Every structure is written in C-alpha cells, then in structure tokens.
C-alpha cells in the first residue's frame, strides 16, 4: 500500500489498483503476501517482491507519467527476505526461498547472470557493497558474489555460521555482521 506521508491517506494499493490482467502468467496476478520492503527509485519506479515468487516493477505516477507495470519476473520460490538495488550496475538483487540469488536488470527484469545457489532457503535480504553481493541462508551459509558477473568473490572464504542466517547481513566499517 502507498500512503500519503503527511495525512496517512491511501494513495494506491498493490495489486488492487494495478491492472495485472494483461500479465501472461496467471500465477503472477496474485502476489499472496508481501514480506519484503519495496524499493523505490528517484524515477518513481517501485520494485515489489511477492510470496508467490514474482518481482514486480511498477512505474508510480508522477506529473506527466501514468501508473503502469513495467515488468514482472518469476523466481524459483517465495520471496521472503527481499531485494537490494545496485545503482552502479542497475541490477536488482533478489533472494528467494529456493536458495538462489537472482540478479535482474532493473530496467526489464532480464538476468544479468544466471541465478546463483547460495545454500538452503534464503529469508534475508542481500547486502551490496564494493562490487560484491553478500547473501545468507537458513543453513548458516554466507556467500559473497561478484555483483557484475556472479561467481564467488575472489578474496572470499566461504563462511558457515553456527545457526541459520535469517537477518540481512550488515556492514560496519570493514566488518560484515550476520545473525
């Protein structure tokens, strides 16, 4: 839902106020639930991830611009943890319950590189920093991947925590914290 920040009045509701009937994949018409926070760009594009495993790119209305769906993309499982947008590469990184990291073109939803297996299920959002993407999984694995082409980051030693990583990795100086 989109609310007016000053008054709290409803501006629009997703998916109710958006025409999903033209989407070819009928499963995409019902996002089921939205657990991950949306991402909004300065161009008024809103990225929404659904528990149904789909990512939606919405063009929010602005003067001279009409609300419309830019693209819809399916992942291999429910999206619980979320997304991160790397503005330097115009890549939307999406984590999925299928244990993979998806790197999507922010402009059209196509793959920047093939989905990368991290571990078991992923319930946390990715962290993008200094050309790498860090992703934790419920089996305790923390992976680091090159943000431009996907393979494991060159200087990264695979890490396995004592328990599952369900909160997003956080950067503090030169330290990545997981939990």
pTM: 0.92
| pLDDT the model gives residue 64 | 60
Nearest to 93 by CA among 5, 10, 169, 26: 169
| pLDDT the model gives residue 72 | 94
| pLDDT the model gives residue 25 | 74
Question: Can you state the percent helix, strand and coil of the chain, rounding each to 5?
Answer: 0, 40, 60
Concatenating the DSSP letter of every residue in 26-50 gives: GGGG------SPPEE-TT-EEEEE-
| pLDDT the model gives residue 62 | 64
Handedness of CA 27, 83, 81, 58 (dihedral sign): negative
pLDDT (tens digit, 9 = 90+) per residue, 12-41? 888 877 777 667 777 787 888 999 999 999
pLDDT, averaged per 10 consecutive residues of the chain (179 residues), comes to: 90 78 74 92 94 93 72 95 94 97 97 93 95 94 92 79 94 93
| pLDDT the model gives residue 151 | 81
| pLDDT the model gives residue 177 | 94
168 contact partners, CB below 8 Å, separation of at least 6: 81, 82, 124, 125, 126, 127, 136
* Nearest-angstrom CA–CA distance, 146 and 101: 12
3-class DSSP assignment, residue 59: strand
| pLDDT the model gives residue 17 | 74
95 contact partners, CB below 8 Å, separation of at least 6: 79, 80, 81, 82, 83, 101, 102, 118, 122, 123, 124, 125, 126, 135
């Amino acid at each position: 839902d989109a609310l007016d920040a000053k008054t709290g009045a409803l501006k629009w509701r997703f998916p109710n106020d958006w025409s999903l009937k033209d989407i070819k994949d009928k499963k995409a018409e019902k996002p089921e639930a939205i657990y991950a926070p949306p991402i909004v760009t300065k161009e008024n594009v809103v990225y929404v991830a659904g528990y149904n495993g789909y990512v939606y790119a919405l063009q929010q209305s602005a003067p001279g611009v009409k609300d419309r769906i830019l693209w819809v993309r399916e992942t291999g499982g429910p999206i619980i943890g979320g997304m991160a947008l790397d503005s330097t590469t115009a890549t939307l990184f999406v984590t999925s319950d299928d244990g993979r990291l998806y790197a999507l073109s922010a402009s059209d939803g196509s793959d920047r590189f093939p989905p990368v297996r991290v571990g078991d299920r992923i319930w946390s959002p990715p962290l993008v920093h200094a050309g790498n993407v860090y992703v934790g999984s419920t089996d305790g694995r923390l992976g680091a991947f090159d943000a431009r082409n996907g393979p494991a980051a060159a200087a990264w030693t695979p890490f396995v925590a004592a328990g599952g990583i369900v909160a997003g990795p956080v950067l503090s100086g030169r330290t990545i914290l997981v939990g």
